[in-house]
């Protein structure tokens, strides 16, 4: 039986018996200081997106319709990314109560 839960190391929800944590990358963003910080992802661009999510969620959704620069490193190579976010539109329809006109 599989154990679906949150990984205590990387924070992902997965079947823990088959789970592999994404490798560690590092991000650096000017507003957040000169030090590289750890972030887990499967690729450079994945790390840039993970940073964008983190930035947005910590900044009152400041990244909506904006683009910022981030440097991603795997410990050897550094790459620059421009990250941005767009809100999803969720449509809904509520039928109005019929009025007796
Ligand atoms: Zn993990």
Condensed to tens digits (0 to 9), the pLDDT of residues 6-60 reads 999 998 899 999 999 999 999 999 888 889 999 999 999 999 999 999 988 876 6
- Ligand 1 centroid to residue 94 C-alpha, Å: 41
Whether 80 has a pLDDT exceeding 80, the answer reads: yes
Whether 65 has a pLDDT exceeding 80, the answer reads: no
Which residues lie below 8 Å from residue 34, measured CB to CB, with a gap of 6+? 28
Its domain, for residue 63, covers 21-83
Number of domains in the chain: 1
Choice among 56-60, 66-70, 75-79, 91-95 with the minimum mean pLDDT: 56-60
- Ligand 1 centroid to residue 22 C-alpha, Å: 7
Q: Give CA–CA dist 101/83, Å, rounded.
A: 53
Task: Report the run of H or E that residue 93 belongs to, with start and end.
Answer: none
Question: 13 lies in a domain?
Answer: no
Q: Yes or no: say if 6 and 51 are a contact pair by the CB < 8 Å rule.
A: no
Question: 8 lies in a domain?
Answer: no
Question: 29 lies in a domain?
Answer: yes
Q: Give CA–CA dist 76/29, Å, rounded.
A: 17
| Average pLDDT of the segment spanning 52-74 | 84
Output b/e per residue, 58-73; b: 16+ Cβ within 10 A: eeeeebeeeebebbbe
Question: 97 lies in a domain?
Answer: no
Output b/e per residue, 32-51; b: 16+ Cβ within 10 A: eeeebeebbbeebebbbbbb
- Ligand 1 centroid to residue 14 C-alpha, Å: 8
Q: Give CA–CA dist 79/56, Å, rounded.
A: 20
- Ligand 1 centroid to residue 18 C-alpha, Å: 10
């Amino acid at each position: 039986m599989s154990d679906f839960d949150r990984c205590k190391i990387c924070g992902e929800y997965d079947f823990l018996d088959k789970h592999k944590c994404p490798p560690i990358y590092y991000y650096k963003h000017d507003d957040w200081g000169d030090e590289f910080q750890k972030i887990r992802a499967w690729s450079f661009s994945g790390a840039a997106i993970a940073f964008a999510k983190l930035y947005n969620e910590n900044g009152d959704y400041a990244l909506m319709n904006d683009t910022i620069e981030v440097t991603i490193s795997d410990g050897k190579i550094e790459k620059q990314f421009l990250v941005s976010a767009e809100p999803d539109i969720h449509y809904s329809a509520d039928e109005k109560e019929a009025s007796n006109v």
